[in-house]
Amino acid sequence: MKLKVGETIKKLRKEREITQEEFAEVLGVSCQSVSRWENGTCYPDMELIPTIAGFFAVSVDKLLGVDEEMEKKAVDAYMKRIKEALNRAALEESIQIAREGVAEFPNNYTLLNELMYTMFLITSSDADIPNWKENQEKYDGEIVALGERIMKYCPDVELRTEATARLAFQHCEMGRKAIGRSIYETIPTMVWCRERSIWWALEEKEKVPYTRKYMQHAYEHMMDACDRLVHILPAEDALAVLDKYEALECLVEDNHQLFGTWANADNHSLRAKFLLELGRVDEALEQLRTAAEAAVASDNSPEEVKLNSVLLGERTFRRCEEEAVDSRTDRQYFRDRWLTEDAYAPARKREEFKEILELLK
């Protein structure tokens, strides 16, 4: 079996942003020796192997490149356990599993990113986490440290960009918007993104599936932008955006809308909120009833639903992890929301509202 020690040294050295000259000086060897190791001409002396492994804080096996398959299998197992814990909304457990993985593989960026993600989730104000505010303070420093490490050293561009965006958001959430914005500005723009640019290099058989994938991303971005716009516009304009949102969904999905989803229930719930703001209580109650029916359908929906459309092709809709983080059912979520938020107070005075709540039991 051919050892990959040279490739590993080169990868670790670049992650640390150390030149060949600097590394050679640390080891007391010539720069030419380091160059020959990295291009595979020869191996380091056996006496140097432990020193090099210690310098990069990796095991000798890791340095020699003989345990990559073992590490991948172990990391996949950790990721599976983390996902299972997240699907049960067991956030503390998911953090503990991620910590176990990082302790075993301290330089694995997949696990480092997942640890950052699990700690990020437990600070969410959107889920039913009673101590989310305390968690923000508790995990802030560690989230930032992990984000900065991944941002600086991770060789995987996609994973690094994901962690960078999360790091920027964390700063914004903690009131450090100027820092967050400066980090966001380092992320490449959509104008020169891979999905848009690589089309010219694709083989003919690749173009249809890749273009549909690109269109799916663009569609998701458009829907996300509509959702953000809804929350900052006056009620009348927000209702018009929701109309456009629904029309766009019908157009892209060939009129095959997914009724039984959290997103669908949320859209009708938002419609009710804006209608109440405008004093149109009867119309708002109709929207709340539809939202309740969608929430019930969502709770009873299968884990996977197959979709097919001319624009996006065939794909599978799955419940996402973010939904699972909240331990409440969709019915409980919307019931709590309508009973506590001031915006829905006018509806709570009507007898029909009690009937709608009965649907959510």
**Model confidence over 115-142: pLDDT tens digits?**
999 999 999 887 788 899 999 999 999 9
How much helix, strand and coil, in percent to the nearest 5, is found in the chain?
Answer: 70, 5, 25
Q: Taking the complete model, does pTM exceed 0.85, yes or no? A: no
pLDDT tens-place string over residues 198-218: 999 999 999 999 999 999 999
Contacts 24+ apart (CB under 8 A), 69-75: 71/105, 71/108, 74/101, 74/104, 74/105, 75/101, 75/105, 75/108, 75/110, 75/111
Cα torsion 115, 120, 124, 127 to 10°: value is -20
pLDDT tens-place string over residues 13-46: 998 889 999 999 989 999 999 999 999 888 898 8
Look up residue 308 and give its DSSP letter: E
Cα torsion 14, 16, 20, 26 to 10°: value is -160
Lookup: tokens for 208: 């249809």
Average pLDDT, rounded, for the chain: 91
Domains of the chain: 5-64 (1.10.260.40), 73-187 (1.25.40), 195-359 (no CATH)
pLDDT of 319: 64
Q: Is the pLDDT of residue 322 over 60?
A: no
Which backbone phi and psi does 210 adopt, to 5 degrees?
A: -70, -40
Lookup: tokens for 59: 């095991």
Placement of tokens 């968690």 in the chain:
135
* Contact (Cβ atoms closer than 8 angstroms) between residue 139 and residue 343: no
Q: If DSSP codes are grouped into helix, strand and coil, which group holds residue 56?
A: helix
